[in-house]
Chain A
Amino acid sequence: MEKKWEEMTPEERQEVLIQRWLSPKDPQGEDLKFKTPEAEAEYKARVQRLVDAIQLKKTPDRVPVLPLPNMFPVYYYGITVQEAMYDYEKCFAAFKKFVLDFQPDATMGCMGPGPGKFYDIVDYKVYRWPGHGVGPNQCYQAVEDEYMKADEYDALITDPTYYFLTVYFPRAFGSLKGLSLLSPPTYVLEFYPTFSAVHFIPFALPPVQEALKVMAEAGAEVLKWIQGVVGWNLEIMASGFPLLAGGGCKAPFDTVGDTLRGTKGIIIDMYRQPEKVLKAVEALVPIMIKMGAEAAKQNGIPLVFMPLHKGADGFMSDQQFKTFYWPTLKKVILGLIDEGCIPFLVAEGGFNSRLEVIKDLPKGKVVWMFDQTEMAQAKKILGDSACIAGNVPTDLLAVGTPEQVKEYVKKLIDTCADGGGFILTNGAFFDEAKPENVKAMVEFAKEYGVYR
Chain B
Amino acid sequence: MMDLVEAIADLKEEEALKIVKDRLNGGEDPLKILEEARKGLEIVGNRFATGEYFIPDLIYSGEIMKQITEMVKPLISQTTEAKKLGKIVIGTVAGDIHDIGKNIVVFMLEVNGFEVYDLGVDVPPERFVEKVKETQAPILGLSGFLTLAFDSMKRTIEALKEAGLRDKVKVMIGGGQVTDEVRKYTGADAYGKDAMAAVSLAKAWVGAS
Residues 29-72 of chain B, each 1 if its beta carbon lies under 8 Å from chain A, else 0: 00000000000000000000000011111011001000000000
Nearest CB on A from B140, distance (A)? 20
Contacts of A90 in B (CB 8 A): none
Instruction: Report the stretch among A101-109, A154-162, A424-432 that lies at the interface.
Output: A424-432
- The yes or no answer to A398 lying at the interface (CB within 8 A) is yes
Instruction: Report the stretch among A137-145, A220-228, A337-345 that lies at the interface.
Output: A137-145
Chain A contact residues (Cβ within 8 angstroms of B): what range? 20 to 34
Chain B contact residues (Cβ within 8 angstroms of A): what range? 20 to 34
- The yes or no answer to B15 lying at the interface (CB within 8 A) is no
Nearest CB on B from A396, distance (A)? 7
Contacts of B59 in A (CB 8 A): 264, 267-268
Q: Is the CB of B97 within 8 A of A141?
A: yes
Nearest CB on B from A404, distance (A)? 8
Partner of B55, one of A144, A314, A394: A314
Number of A-B contacts (CB under 8 A): 79
Q: Is the CB of B56 within 8 A of A394?
A: no
Nearest CB on A from B126, distance (A)? 15
Partner of B179, one of A264, A314, A393: A393
- The yes or no answer to A14 lying at the interface (CB within 8 A) is no
Given contacts A135-B95, A141-B98, contact A398 B147 (CB under 8 A): yes
Residues 389-417 of chain A, each 1 if its beta carbon lies under 8 Å from chain B, else 0: 00001111011100000000000000000
Q: Is the CB of B95 within 8 A of A430?
A: no
Which residue of A is nearest B122, CB measured?
A134
In the complex, 28 of the A-B residue pairs with CB atoms within 8 angstroms, ordered by the A residue number, are: A133-B97, A134-B95, A134-B122, A135-B95, A139-B146, A141-B146, A144-B100, A264-B59, A267-B55, A270-B56, A271-B11, A271-B60, A314-B54, A314-B55, A317-B54, A393-B177, A393-B179, A394-B147, A394-B177, A395-B177, A395-B179, A395-B181, A396-B181, A399-B150, A399-B181, A430-B147, A431-B147, A432-B150
Interface residue ranges, B against A (CB under 8 Å): 11, 13, 53-57, 59-60, 63, 95-98, 100, 122, 146-148, 150-151, 176-179, 181-182, 184-185, 194
In order of increasing CB-CB distance, the 8 nearest A-B pairs are A399-B185, A432-B147, A267-B56, A395-B179, A317-B54, A431-B147, A398-B147, A267-B59
